[in-house]
Structure 1
Amino acid sequence: MSKLLKILALTMGIACVAIGFAHIALGNDSVPDMADAGVTADSQSRFFGAIFVGYGAAWIWAARQSPIPAPAIRWLAGIFLLGAVGRAVSLAVHGWPHWFQIVLTVIEFVLPPLFFWLATANEDRVLSGHEPLAPSRSRSGV
């Protein structure tokens, strides 16, 4: 359970960091159907790209802890789920977006429950004594 959680959390973090840097580098061109959205949308896309890099770094930080902190995973997954809710609101208000955004919305609704379940299962395993604790590290995780 903990190995799967670690792999998925690391994958999530690396993907978010890569996506964030793509938004910083490409701006509107990083999002389907937004190439002509204008300067303000480009600025916002690049700004949110930086935020997404930080979000991905938080996933990587959590995945590197031993044991993996379930509350951190739950918070990060909850934020991801909130993004899916935002997309659903947009769909209700403005209609169907580009097909790729629909794929992302499905992923954003499916992954959080998986992370909630894995975090709880891993936490229960650690608390029951079935998961050995790694040697302690400094608070910075280094």
Structure 2
Amino acid sequence: MARALRVLTQLMGWACVAIGLFHVALGNAAIPGAGSAGATVDSWGRFMGACFVGYGLAWLWAARQRPIPARAVRWLAGVFLLGGVGRLLSLAVHGWPQWFQIALAVIELGLPPVFFWLANAEERAPRGDWPTRAWNARS
């Protein structure tokens, strides 16, 4: 479970960093259907891209910890889930978006429960790290 959590956390981090940089670099062109949205949406999209880079870096920070902090993973996954809920609210208010946004909503609503499950399993796992701690104390 620990390895699955570490790999998935790293993938999430790198994906968020890459997507965020893509939005910072391309602005409206990074959002399907928003190419002619104007300067205000472009500015907002680039700013949010930078925030997404920071979010990805938080995932990468969590992936580098030993053990991975389950509380941090749950918080980060909760933020991701909130993004999916936001997409559902948009769907309810404005109707169906472009198909790629629907695919993203499925990921944003489906992946957090996996992270919650893995984080809980990791938190409950017995820690057999006594020899490692003892070795590090001698170093």
TM over 0.5: yes
Alignment of 1:1-142 (within 5 A): 1-125=1-125, 128-130=126-128, 132=129
Is the helix fraction higher in 1 or 2?
Answer: 2
Which amino acid in the other structure matches residue 8 of structure 1?
L
> How many pairs are equivalent?
132
Cα displacement (A) at 1:129: 2.7
Q: What is the rounded CA distance, in whole Å, between the counterparts of 1:92 and 1:29 in structure 2?
A: 25
TM-score (norm 1): 0.90
* Stretches of structure 1 lacking an aligned partner (at least 5 in a row): 136-142
Which amino acid in the other structure matches residue 127 of structure 2?
G
Deviations 1:106-137 (A, max 9, x none): 00000000000000000100xx334x3765xx
Q: What is the rounded CA distance, in whole Å, between the counterparts of 1:17 and 1:64 in structure 2?
A: 15
Which amino acid in the other structure matches residue 98 of structure 1?
Q
TM-score (norm 2): 0.92
Larger radius of gyration: 2
* Stretches of structure 2 lacking an aligned partner (at least 5 in a row): 134-139
4+ residue stretches of structure 1 with deviation over 2 A? 132-135
